[in-house]
Structure 1
Amino acid sequence: MTTPRDLLIIALDDEGSRAVRAGELSLALAGAELIDLLMAPTIRLDGGRIVPGHLPALADPLLKEAAASFVMAEPFESVGDFLWRRGKSLTERYMATLEAEGVVARRGGHLLRKGHTVLVDSLPRHQATGRWDSAEPVLSTLAEYLGIRHRNTIDPPDITDYAVESVLAGVNRALQELEGERQRRRVEQAAFDNIWRSLD
């Protein structure tokens, strides 16, 4: 299994995860892909930019797709730009993959809505749960960014890898930017509604 798959399974398995929006989850999944590819190692970071390296044989098709999408020429792509580009509709793509593999089952309606998606009792689910229960730091941090909390009180170990820390910081910034944009749109919509009400 990969970190993005584990993160999605944990999000679906958590009672509080129903409030997680696809946009936030997509950004976190893109960050999880970057971290897995850093560990492969397929890439390295240089001044916050993603420098592609040797492309090893990757078993996961979505990770392979992510690796093949990197900008190959200088000045390369920033972590933030990758997250926004790669994150577009990424939740839906991972959900479709897990559904095709039988890890999740659809019960009508849309995925990620309560009562419509069921996690099947499977090896990938047990592996993701084991990683979660051990408070693995990358998975724990990404889940925390999405508002998913451990049921136990285990504190995850500190992350000491600078590149991994940089990607996690990039994910956190992107999530804050997304929320800021949503707030801006809500304010603009409220102002627009007030104008129309004043004309009634």
Structure 2
Amino acid sequence: MTTPRDLLIAAIDMAASRPLERGNLSLALAGAEVIDLLSAEAIRLEGDQIVPSHPPAMADRLLDEATSSLVLQAPYESLEDWLWRRGRGLSRAYLDALEAEGQLTQQRRFRWMPFRATQMVLVDSPARREAADRWASQEPILAALAVAVGIRDKPIGDFPGVTDDAVATVLAAVDDALRDLAFQRQRRALDKAAFDNIWRGE
């Protein structure tokens, strides 16, 4: 399994108790892809720039898509730009992949779920068990991403257990992007409230 898939599985399992915004998850999934590409030595970071190496064939289709979408020549893409570009609709792509592989089934919806009109339920599979084991072990990278999107409580300290500087850089970029997204949502909400007040004559 991959870090993005493990994060998505954890998010689905936690959705009933900790619903989250799909946009938040998409940004975190894009960050998780960068972390896996770093691990596979498909890329390296020079400052905040993503520099492609000689990537091996990735075993995961979506990671292959991520590799093929890299900017191959200087000036390379920044982490921030990658998160916003690659993250657009990425949670939907990963959900579709899990469903196509038979790892998600649709059930009649009895309460609100954050992903679809119908309730998506994970089947018992090796992938789900592997993700659950990684979650239970509080593996540092998955735990940090889970904290970022709000499905795990924040521990004391910055990314405890993460010793790789490049990975810490990615996690910090994800946090910054999520804060920016929250600011944009707040600003839109304030603008809408102000517009509504004008129409009400307030």
TM-score by length of 1: 0.92
- Whole-Å separation in 1 of the counterparts to 2:77 and 2:59: 24
Maintained 8 Å contact 2:45/2:166: yes
Asked if 2 retains the 8 angstrom alpha-carbon contact of 1:99 and 1:105, the reply is yes
CA distance in 2, matches of 1:166, 1:16: 30
What is the aligned partner in structure 1 of residue 172 from structure 2?
169
Contact 1:111/1:117 (8 A) holds in 2:
no
Residue type matched to 1:41 in 2?
Answer: E
Letter in 2 for 1:16: S
Residue 68 of structure 2 corresponds to 68
CA deviation after TM superposition for structure 1 residue 107, in Å: 2.2
- Percent sequence identity over matched residues? 53
Given the alignment of the two structures, is residue 146 of structure 1 paired with residue 149 of structure 2, yes or no? yes
Answering whether residue 7 of structure 2 is matched by residue 16 of structure 1, we say no
Letter in structure 1 aligned against 2:17: G
Distance (Å, rounded) in 2 between the aligned partners of 1:137 and 1:87: 22
Q: State which drifts further: 84-93 or 110-119.
A: 110-119
Q: Are residues 1:81 and 2:81 paired?
A: yes
Q: What corresponds to 1:101 in structure 2?
A: 101
Contact 1:3 1:33 in 2 (8 A): yes
- 5+ residue gaps, structure 2: 154-158
Give the AA of the match of 2:102: G
- In structure 1, the residue matched to 2:58 is 58
Cα displacement (A) at 1:67: 0.7
1:16 is displaced (CA, Å) by 2.5
| Alignment deviations for residues 119-166 of structure 1 (CA, whole Å, 9 cap, x no partner) | 10111000000001111000000001111127xxxxx85211010000
2:191 counterpart (156, 178, 188):
188
| Aligned 8 A contact 1:10 1:128 in 2 | yes
* Separation in 2, partners of 1:55, 1:41: 7
How far the C-alpha of 1:56 sits from its partner, in A, is 0.3
Checking the alignment, whether the CA contact within 8 Å between 1:28 and 1:142 is kept in structure 2 is yes
Report deviation, 1:6: 0.3
Cα distance in 1 for residues equivalent to 2:124 and 2:60 = 21
- Alignment partner, residue 131 of structure 1: 134
- Change over 3 Å in CA distance of 1:145–1:111 after alignment to 2: closer
Map of 1:153 onto structure 2: none
SS of residue matched to 2:143: helix
Q: Matched residues in 1 for 2:152 and 2:33: separation?
A: 21
Alpha-carbon distance, 1:179 to partner: 0.5
Q: Normalising to structure 2: TM-score of the pair?
A: 0.91
CA RMSD of aligned residues (A): 1.8
Q: Cα deviation per residue 1:64-118 (whole Å; 9 max; x = unaligned)?
A: 0001101111110000000000000000000000001111112257872586111
